Amino acid sequence: MGTTQTEAVPEPKYWHLKTVLSEALDSEFSVGEVLPNERELAARFGVARATLRQALEQLELEGRLQRRRGVGTTVAPPRVGVDVGPGQPGWPGAPDDLWQLEGSEEAAPLPAEISRLLRPHLGEGESLHAVRRSRMNHGQPVATEVLHVPGASVPGLPAMASSAGAAAHARAVLRELNRLTLEGQDRTVELGSARAEDARRLDRLPGAPVLVVATRYLSEGRVAAVSHATYRADTCRLSFSEAESLSLVG
CATH code of residue 240: 3.40.1410.10
Range of the domain at 64: 5-75
Share of the chain above pLDDT 90, in %: 31
Q: What is the CATH number of the domain that holds 68?
A: 1.10.10.10
Q: How far apart are CA 177 and CA 197, in angstroms?
A: 26
The stretch 10-26 carries a mean pLDDT of 87
Transcribe 5-38 into DSSP letters.
HHHHSPPPHHHHHHHHHHHHHHHH--TTPBPPPH
Is the overall model pTM greater than 0.75, yes or no?
Answer: no
The total number of structural domains in the chain stands at 2
Average confidence (pLDDT) over 99-126: 76
Q: Is it the case that residue 178 has pLDDT exceeding 90? A: yes
One domain for residues 55 and 87? no
Nearest Cα neighbor of 202 from 225, 236, 176 is 236
In terms of domains, do 70 and 164 share one? no
Q: Both 85 and 180 in a single domain?
A: yes
pLDDT at 4: 42
Say what the pLDDT of residue 176 is: 92
pLDDT digits (tens, 9 = 90+) for 192-238: 999 999 999 998 889 988 999 989 999 988 899 999 999 998 888 87
Residues 193 and 69 reside in one and the same domain = no
pLDDT of 87: 62
* 90, HSE (Cβ side, Cα atoms, 13 Å): 12
Q: Are residues 69 and 105 in the same domain?
A: no
Q: Give the residue from 26, 51, 75 where a domain finishes.
A: 75
**Confidence tier at 248 by pLDDT (50, 70, 90):** very low
Are 34 and 84 in the same domain?
no
Last residue of a domain, one of 75, 98, 117: 75
Question: What's the sign of the alpha-carbon dihedral 134, 138, 139, 141?
Answer: negative
Looking at the fold, whether 31 and 138 belong to one and the same domain comes out as no
Tell me which of 75, 94, 112 is where a domain ends.
75
Same domain, 85 and 101: yes
Are 210 and 117 members of one domain? Answer: yes
Lowest mean pLDDT among 11-15, 50-54, 199-203: 11-15
User: 36 and 137 share a domain?
Assistant: no
Q: Is the domain of 173 the same as that of 157? A: yes
Name the percent of the chain lying above pLDDT 70: 86
Q: What is the 3-state secondary structure (H, E, C) of 92-146?
A: CCCCCCCCEEEEEEECCCCCHHHHHHHHHHCCCCCCEEEEEEEEEECCEEEEEEE
CA distance 150 to 176: 12
59 and 144, same domain (yes or no): no
